[in-house]
Amino acid sequence: MNVTMIYDYIIVGAGSAGCVLAHRLSTDANIRVLLLEAGKRDRQLAIHIPAGFSQVFHSELDWNYYTEPQAHMNQRQLYWPRGKVLGGSSSINAMIYIRGHQQDYDNWAKLGNFGWGFSDLLPYFKKAENYQVSTGELYGTRGLLNVESLRDKNILSRAFVEAGVEMGLQRREDLNHPEAEGVGFYPVTQKQGRRHSAAAAYLSPCRDRKNLQIRTETLVTRLLFEGTRVVGVEFVGPGGKCDRAYSNREVILAGGAINSPQLLMLSGIGDRDRLQSLNIPVVVHLPGVGENLQDHLIAGVVYQCKQPISLDKANTAANWLQYLLFKRGPLTSNIAEAGGFVKTQSDLLQPDIQFHFAPLYFLEHGLQKPRGHGFSLGATLLHPESRGSIRLASSSAFDAPRIQPNYLAREADLRVLSAGIKLCRNILQASPFDGFRGGEVFPGSECQEEEEIAEFIRNSAETLYHPAGTCKMGSDSLAVVNSRLQVYGVENLRVVDASIMPAVVGGNTHAPTVAIAEKAADLLRSNY
């Protein structure tokens, strides 16, 4: 066992947050940084061609998680793809760049998290961004993460925006307005027609720094302690070799809402009784670890398309040639090209439904391929009241944890999603789709009554890939980290990823996670 590796910072996880931290902390040539990633390097072609992201699902670049049976969804076990690769889930997502509503962050601050309101985080969004969609003081143009408009928008996506406007929704040229409500095209993390993941944006410019070591195919199995002070990590690298690395300053967990609480519990930080039941020595009794799990659930309406203009048959030689020569055409699509935000009740302070429109059949995460052409509109529940948990299945880091999102446990969640389905139908039945719309495939024209729609949601809703909240920032009994993202009860340990969100933001989570990491880098530097 190698015990000679000593660094200033050890970062566990090279996803959206870990890549940012590795870049920012290694800017100082006198600081030694180790970045550990369980997955492989991001070399697979399907990562970089935008329309190919679903090809990575169920591959070696995917953690390939499944939930526990869902009591309120007819005992279904839902598939949760998560990136097991440099860039993490930013290497396999739909590239949508949405910050979230201003109210999301102001609510964090109201919960006692000083420094986490929207005005506090705005400088970090701007710091990250090379924003090509809009101009003005709200956006950054010198950051490392490229954000641009889609190069080629499908005619069906344009019809969706026009249909939304016809139904009374505001046309939004940029859906990243702090109080965005309405419909439009999504900004995407692409650069010249290629995915611009966190790895491409933040790691590529700094991979040759002598003070930064990046180790892939390396699974961290536990934290190392002296008393309650974290001094390093133990990990298993390629070939099954077990090693240790030590930190002079801090260890930072950036494994996401599943892996960060899992590693804390494996290391003896969590609920005392549950740890002892697995014979894990308790270092700190911290019952909130793994609790407060939230995720965005999506259910959709799907129609046949009468014209062969969808993306269902985009994988052609002509489209490949167009992409390879010019980085244009259907293969530059992020699939969920357009969408927006809407309130299901007029008295709400912020939208509670997000739309995702795809100009193709998007069924079972894009893995089911019906014959012919279609288009899909999903309603996403932005502010779920239901709460779940991440729990250990065993004391081994090689065993997937138990994922229990507890979807639809609160009746209000089902009610909002049902309202969202009705809104989706209204939009897809508007006149801009008259020349394209065939029969309704899902839920189907026979599904009209409230209970029929509710049963359709229970049988078909899926994750939108946004788990959060399992290492909650705050000061209550379930809080895991303070407002400086330091883990309660131990020294030299922080969590920096979507798991620290007290409540999941009302939008896609990649952009907020990058901003969290940008702020965390400043917090770390200010400590020393």
Task: Considering only CA atoms, give the Rg of the chain.
Answer: 22
Q: What percent of the chain has pLDDT over 90?
A: 94
Cα(512)–Cα(20) distance, integer angstroms? 12
Asked if residue 50 has pLDDT above 70, the reply is yes
Q: Is the dihedral angle over the CA atoms 118, 119, 122, 124 positive or is it negative?
A: negative
CA dist., res. 394 & res. 274, Å (int): 10
375's enclosing H/E stretch is strand 374-381
Looking at the chain, the whole-number percentage of residues with pLDDT higher than 70 is 99
CB burial readout 254-266, b (16+ within 10 A) else e: bbbbbbbbbbbbb
* Max Cα distance, the chain (Å): 69
Q: What is the pLDDT of residue 3?
A: 46
Kindly state the tokens that stand for 62.
Answer: 């995917």
Can you tell me the distance from the alpha carbon of 242 to that of 263, in angstroms, rounded to the nearest whole number?
16
Residue 369 pLDDT class (50, 70, 90 cuts): confident
Q: How far apart are CA 523 and CA 503, in angstroms?
A: 21
Q: Rounded to an integer, what distance in angstroms lies between the CA atom of residue 436 and that of residue 459? A: 27
Question: Per residue in 489-513, pLDDT tens?
Answer: 999 999 999 999 999 999 999 999 9
Secondary structure class of 107 (helix, strand, coil)? helix
User: What integer pLDDT is reported at residue 47 of this predicted model?
Assistant: 95
Between vectors from CA 126 to CA 121 and to CA 131, what angle results, nearest 5°?
A: 140
Amino acid type, 179 = E
| Residue 263, pLDDT score | 98
Reference 495, options 251, 216, 244; nearest CA is 251
Q: Are 199 and 19 in contact (CB under 8 A)?
A: yes
DSSP 117-159: SHHHHHHHHHHHEEE-S--STTS-BSSSEEEB--SS--HHHHH
Is a pLDDT exceeding 80 seen at residue 364? yes
In this prediction, residue 362 carries a pLDDT of 87
Catalytic residue among 101, 296, 383, 466: 466
Tokens of 398: 């090689």
pLDDT attached to residue 4: 59
466 is catalytic: yes
**What are the pLDDT digits (tens) for 229-250?**
999 999 999 989 999 999 999 9
Q: Using one digit for the tens of pLDDT, what is the confidence trace for 318-356?
A: 999 999 999 999 999 999 999 999 999 999 999 999 999
Give mean pLDDT, residues 255-267: 98
Average pLDDT for the chain: 96
Closest CA to 487 of 293, 224, 284: 284
Angle, vertex CA 496, rays to CA 391 and CA 401, nearest 5: 15
pLDDT of residue 1: 45
Question: Over the stretch 377-432, which tens digit does the pLDDT of each residue have?
Answer: 999 999 999 999 999 999 999 999 999 999 999 999 999 999 999 999 999 999 99
Two structure tokens written together for 206: 């700094």
